Amino acid sequence: MIKLNYLNGILLSIFVTGVSYADVVIKSPEGSTLTFSKEKKGEHYDKNAWGKIIFSTNSYSVDLSRSDRYYTEDGTSKVSPSGRYLIVISVSGGNVEYGDGTSNYSDKAYCSVIDMTNGCIVSDWDGEACGYTWVGNEDVLASSENAGANNFDFNSMRPSINKIKNKLSTIDARRVGNILRCDVPSKENINSYQQLATENGKTKEIVHESIANYLHGVTEESSIKSKSKLFKSPIDDSETKGYLVSGDKVKVIQVSSDGKWVNVGYINPKGVPLITWVKADTVAE
């Protein structure tokens, strides 16, 4: 297994819980923690193997674990120079069945970069890049500290809802939760989140919650002045069957460059949010 060195700026504490294993808690300068718990022991586990990793801030906690992996942590993990990013090693293993009826245990190590400001799993990879190290005074991963060494741009792998062009209906809740942490709802992506909520019934609830939270922070308000058809985007060909009626209160997100369309958010009496485009002449000035 790859051994990762401890860097100043992250405080590691180990304490005994009320159960039969010890948790390892890494505290970041951001005030957040990553807790490794449910110690794993047995033939196929490395030393310091854990079944769970929990990310916590003052506002929320989230389980970042995958059921098909275990995690290794012995207090020597190397964090980025700023203290923002932490590299976490995980292992996926199982028996491989052969045609002759025999089987053999095989495993693969993964290296994930976790953003300690929000719990975003920025990247998750295996292979050669797992040997890269933080170099210099910036959050840069490279194959060595030598000049000209290969860099690994882990931030280019940061999940983004706008990068997902199709098959939104197949994304599971774990992945959607990570996308929401990595790519916080904003006017640049809120329409994509609306599409996700529409197409993915399994994750609609958590996406609607995030959309509603975003709308609560939008300060510009208006109302519909006449029956307004709803559109997926600011073009006539994207018309839907829905509509808003005169007097409906909306949050104004943005106006199209030609001024003919308004991107609005609406929360119905049941608390369900909707992001849509309407024609500007149906919105009160």
Residue whose tokens read 């929320």? 60
Question: What are the tokens at 238?
Answer: 């994207």
- Residues 156-163 have a mean pLDDT of 96
pTM, rounded to two decimals? 0.86
For 206-226, what is each residue's pLDDT tens digit? 999 999 999 999 999 999 999
Q: What pLDDT does 285 receive? A: 81
Spell out the domain ranges in the chain.
Answer: 11-157, 161-214, 221-282
Question: What are the tokens at 143?
Answer: 């194959």
**pLDDT averaged over every residue in the chain:** 89
| DSSP SS3 for 233 | coil
131 versus 272: the higher-pLDDT residue is 272
CA–CA gap between residue 170 and residue 203 (Å, rounded): 10
Pick the CATH number of 221-282 from 1.10.357, 1.25.40, 2.30.30, 3.50.4: 2.30.30
Q: What pLDDT does 161 receive? A: 97
Q: How far is CA 131 from CA 2, 83, 110, 121, in A?
A: 7, 19, 11, 18
Question: What are the tokens at 118?
Answer: 């929000």
Confidence of residue 129 (pLDDT cuts 50, 70, 90): confident
Percent helix, strand and coil across the chain, each to the nearest 5: 20, 40, 40
User: Exposed/middle/buried for 101, CB within 10 Å: 0-12, 13-18, 19+?
Assistant: exposed
For 75-111, what is each residue's pLDDT tens digit? 777 779 999 999 999 999 887 877 777 878 888 999 9
CATH 2.40.128 assigned to domain 11-157? The reply is yes
